[in-house]
Amino acid sequence: MLFRSKKRCRLELVTESGRFIKWYLCGVGKISEKTPAGEYTIINKEVNPKWYKPGGGVVKPGDPENALGVRWMGIGGSLGIHGTNEPDTIGKPESAGCIRMHNHDVEELYKLITYQTKVTIIEGK
């Protein structure tokens, strides 16, 4: 189970019973493109994902322009938890709504969670 605090730009990994395991610094949506609070689940996972650019176009895995970095974990629609090609945005509200992580952190998290893992996005805390 994952909990993420938007205010603190933290993604927290906890067990179903609420036991804390680890936290990661992350980036969240810009004020104009909020990361919506709510209950989600991991519905898909990809290693070295393609990035479908807003407005059209596809960026191949490994391309320095690929905004998704090395992992993608979808939580619904176009929302997901992913790596980034802009590590300086981690810890800030600068994404298009997704949860961005350092590539080495998202690789670790990817190994730790499974499909149907619950994701709770919290406004504050």
Catalytic center residues: 82, 98
Q: Is 48 left (phi over 0), alpha (psi -120 to 50) or beta?
A: left
8 Å CB contact between 4 and 10: yes
How far apart are the C-alpha atoms of 14 and 115, rounded to whole Å? 16
**Cβ(89)–Cβ(100) under 8 Å?**
yes
In single-letter form, the type of residue at position 67 comes to: A
